[in-house]
Chains A and B, each alone.
Chain A
């Protein structure tokens, strides 16, 4: 009986596989049989590496020889909040080096939370003739000199995005290195750069790149220059302004308003540092077609925010400061019926007293009025179980819910009870919930709910919560789809971790800091689970100098097929497994 796998020529299978883009599906295809594995590997064009230490560059280039697009993530998420000390790792250089040799036709590199040096950028510019997309999110380690190497050499560059990265700003002339003949820019995001770029070079670049769709400026670009830039690119779809204030002059305003009305394709706005409210009406012509609005730097009053947002009837994504207040969110609930994602950031995160009238009520209003709302990040100072219950019942379609009650361990402000029931309602009703961040006063109970109902949960963030190991046990044993778990300042120790050790191999990573996991338990985990890297982060010196029962400062455990990493800094200790001990 001829086997089906051999009844199609390879080319046909390749063609069929080319329609499958999703990584998970590609993975499934590769498991069908050996020949499908090989064919799939040969025609895989995009690779996503969720943890740069889970696999080695050599392994990737060996298995997938024809990759055109690569995305790699490095540091753990809590690095965003300064919980990961400097020099931890996530260096992209070994990847660039391996790919420079193996993928001469590489086109796209997307990195998140990685360290990329000027040397890397120069290597990229030199090695990939067709290089077209560079997206660096929350990265660090490079300067504008490295950017100059990219702009000078990458003739086919289409996207250059520096999102929230730390760039040492040496000289604004890197932008001028684009040759005059270069016109292929589609997307430019320099919003995180501190210093000025050469404005006339920018204007010329923008006007000659007729395919430009995304332009995110940095704060240093003055408002007076914005109109000219817009006139040079009326086809823009996404715009990030620079500073949005200057002396109020009618001719500047008129110029700006006219320029905005010329941008008929504009769907996304961001930037808005230092907003002078009197310039906001210049945006009114584009409001009704906006789908995405990021006002999270705009320190303006609720009334001005409302005047703007109430006109944005097509809005799908809104990021805003808590100056919006409950009143503003009520207006949004009434006006923005297509809203899918809401993020409300705190204007005064370290103040003890509320400085704005934003409470749980704002979120409740939006959950009622915006039936498509599925992604929430909300900072507030009070919450109640009743409100959470209402939100959960209103929005069973919620997929990402991140609530940050600013005061750690704040109880339900009405009943003074823990918020277990409220978050329990969220996981119970929102059956497709994939991401959850908890806050407020929480006992082991909430974790019982999460373990019971959070079957689709992939990422959970926990802080200042729980009473005993039972809490952690509920999560590890109940959440079937858990991939990333990050915990800080919780009384979780050895028991739950050791009892659920095997679970850790089914997850991408586990982070625990300021908890009660002992050094001895870490050693045991490292010993028994060779497919995990168990890394203890402790800045107090070698854990061996303290008793085995002593809790470690921080713990990062991740699954890997490439064994121990070789670039750990002095304050990271890897717990050895059996094989290492035998060899030595």
Chain B
């Protein structure tokens, strides 16, 4: 599909790809392998060139760019997608994405994230995450905190911090109680509360 209508040169041996292993892992065709993204940090321009799927990765890795990572300076956060790799059927890929059309395509769903004691707020795009574990992992990295295990009865009991959110009705809810899709469509902002503060929330 994406291979179509590209002018190709003599193909270089695919061995070149091995050289670029620390860089882009692969691209649409061997002759395009030389197209390495020169900007090492994610940028709005680079993100626009990518398809929706990898756009998500861009943003979720944006936070990684600021964290310690030994590939930080070598791997551009953007990843050019190789056609048909990993080998997953499209109906499966589509089904992993959230139901379309609920938030409006392509616009991103940025919500503010605050934390008690932090000097400034952050913003994250809820659309790039597909589940609670992913979201909580990012929040944990962003604010250097842990949440412990969620249980319906006890919430995040026992952990130092608990993720909460303000929903459409203006109520503060515990993150994790409702199905993911429902959460994304009703979450207006996030707040990481101290465990002790969060105790009254979301109890059935």
Residues of A within 8 A of B (CB): 78, 80-83, 85-86, 138, 164, 166, 192, 219, 245, 273-278, 296-297, 299-301, 303, 323, 345-353, 355-356, 379, 404, 406-409, 437, 441, 461, 463-464, 467, 488-491, 514, 516, 539-540, 550-551, 553
Q: 10 shortest A-B CB distances, which residue pairs? A: A81-B84, A539-B4, A245-B179, A491-B14, A276-B179, A299-B131, A83-B84, A81-B87, A408-B26, A349-B86
Instruction: Given A82-B84, A489-B82, output 8 extra A-B contacts at Cβ < 8 Å.
Output: A83-B84, A347-B131, A349-B88, A351-B56, A353-B61, A491-B14, A516-B14, A539-B5
Q: By CB atoms of chain A within 10 A, which of B60, B130, B179 has the most?
A: B179
Judged by a CB distance under 8 angstroms, whether B25 is at the interface is: yes
A299 CB contacts on chain B under 8 angstroms:
96, 130-131, 180
Q: List 22 A-B contacts (CB under 8 A).
A: A80-B87, A81-B85, A82-B83, A82-B84, A86-B1, A164-B89, A274-B99, A278-B152, A345-B92, A348-B130, A352-B57, A353-B60, A355-B134, A406-B86, A407-B25, A408-B17, A409-B18, A467-B15, A514-B14, A539-B5, A540-B8, A550-B10
B96 lies within 8 A of A347 (CB): yes
Which residues from A are CB-within-8-Å of B89? 80-81, 138, 164
Instruction: Considering the complex, give the chain B residue whose CB is closest to the CB of A277.
Output: B152
B85 touches A323 (CB 8 A): no
User: A516 CA to B12 CA in the complex, in Å?
Assistant: 9
Is A192 touching B61 in the complex (CB atoms < 8 A)?
Answer: no
CA of A543 to CA of B10, assembled, Å: 13
- A162 CB to nearest chain B CB (Å): 11
For chain B, residues 1 to 24, give those with C-beta under 8 angstroms from any C-beta of chain A. 1, 3-8, 10-11, 13-15, 17-18, 21
A86 contacts across to B, CB distance below 8 A: 1
The count of chain B contact residues (Cβ–Cβ below 8 Å) is: 59
B91 within 8 Å of A (CB atoms) = yes
In the complex, whether B137 has a CB less than 8 A from a CB of chain A is yes
Name the interface residues of B88-109: CB closer than 8 Å to any CB of A: 88-93, 95-96, 99
- Chain B residues contacting A437 (CB-CB under 8 Å) are 87
A408 in contact with B85 given A347-B96, A353-B64, A516-B13 (CB within 8 Å): yes
Q: Is the CB of A303 within 8 A of B149?
A: yes
Q: What does DSSP make chain A's interface, helix, strand, loop or mixed?
A: loop
- Using a CB-CB cutoff of 8 Å, which residues 120-166 of chain B contact chain A? 130-134, 137, 149-150, 152
CB of B30 closer than 8 Å to a CB of A = yes
Contact across chains for A540 and B7 when beta carbons are under 8 A apart: yes
Given contacts A78-B84, A352-B61, A514-B30, contact A489 B14 (CB under 8 A): yes
Using known A-B contacts A464-B17, A539-B3, determine if residue A323 contacts B84 with beta carbons closer than 8 Å.
Answer: no
Stretch of B73-81, B185-193, B195-203 lying at the A interface = B73-81
CA distance A435 to B57 in the complex (A): 32
Q: Tell which of B5, B7, B26 touches A464, judged by Cβ atoms closer than 8 Å.
A: B26
Instruction: Give Cα A332–Cα B96 distance, bound, in whole angstroms.
Output: 23
* CB-based nearest A residue for B53: A350
A85's contact among B1, B6, B8, B90, by CB below 8 Å, is which? B1
CB distance from B103 to the nearest CB of A (A): 15
Min CB–CB distance B140 → chain A (angstroms): 12
Q: Name B29's contact: one of A164, A406, A407, A514 (CB within 8 Å).
A: A514
Task: Quote the shortest CB–CB distance from A245 to chain B (angstroms).
Answer: 4
Contact yes or no, B25 A408, CB < 8 A? yes
| Distance of B173 from chain A, by nearest CB (Å) | 13
| Cα distance, A303 to B148, chains bound together (Å) | 12
By a CB distance below 8 angstroms, the chain B residues around A245 are 179, 182
A467 to B17, CA, bound (A): 12
- B182 nearest CB across to chain A (Å): 8
A526 to B100, CA, bound (A): 47
From A83, A166, A301, B132 is in contact (CB under 8 Å) with A301
Please indicate the chain B residues that have their CB under 8 angstroms from the CB of A356 in the complex.
133
Give every chain A residue within 8 A of B179 (Cβ-Cβ): 245, 274-276
Given contacts A274-B179, A464-B14, contact A297 B95 (CB under 8 A): yes
Name the B residues within 8 Å of A82 (CB-CB): 1, 83-84, 90
Contact status of A379 and B60, CB under 8 A, knowing A323-B133, A409-B18: no
Cβ contact within 8 Å between B54 and A489: no
Q: Kindly provide the distance from the CB of B84 to the nearest chain A CB, expressed in whole angstroms.
A: 3
Complex CA distance for A166 and B89, rounded to whole angstroms? 12
**Which chain B residues lie closer than 8 Å to A491 at the CB level?**
13-15
Contact partners of A274 in chain B: CB under 8 A: 99, 179-181
A354 to nearest B CB, angstroms?
A: 10
Whole-angstrom CA separation of A80 from B89 in the bound complex: 6
Asked if B131 contacts A350 (CB within 8 A), the reply is no
Contact A409 B84 (CB under 8 A): no
- Contact across chains for B25 and A409 when beta carbons are under 8 A apart: yes
* Known contacts A355-B134, A407-B25; A350/B3 CB under 8 A: no
Q: How far is the CA of A143 from the CA of B84 in the complex (A)?
A: 26
Q: Give chain A residues whose Cβ lies under 8 Å from the Cβ of B17.
A: 408-409, 464, 489
A20 to chain B, nearest CB (A): 35
Q: Is the CB of B91 within 8 A of A192?
A: yes
Kindly provide the distance from the CB of B69 to the nearest chain A CB, expressed in whole angstroms. 9
Which B residues lie within 8 Å of A301 (CB)? 131-133, 150
CB distance from B154 to the nearest CB of A (A): 13
- Give the residue name and chain of the B residue nearest to A273 (CB): B95
Bound Cα distance A164, B152 (Å): 34
Contacts of A347 in B (CB 8 A): 96, 130-131
Closest A residue to B177 using CB positions: A248
CB-based contact B4/A350 at 8 Å: no
* Cα-based distance from A51 to B46 in the complex (angstroms): 43
Q: Inside 8 A of A349's CB, which chain B residues have their CB?
A: 86, 88, 93
Chain B min CB distance to A321 (Å): 8
Within the complex, the shortest CB–CB distance from B97 to chain A, in Å, comes to 10
Residue in B closest to A491 when the chains form the complex, CB atoms = B14
A490 and B54 alpha carbons, distance in the complex (Å): 24
Bound form: Cα–Cα A277–B79 in Å: 33
Q: How far is the CA of A480 from the CA of B14 in the complex (A)?
A: 28
Contact in complex: A164, B91 (CB < 8 Å): yes
A445 to B61, CA, bound (A): 36
Q: Which of chain A's residues have a CB closer than 8 A to the CB of B99?
A: 274
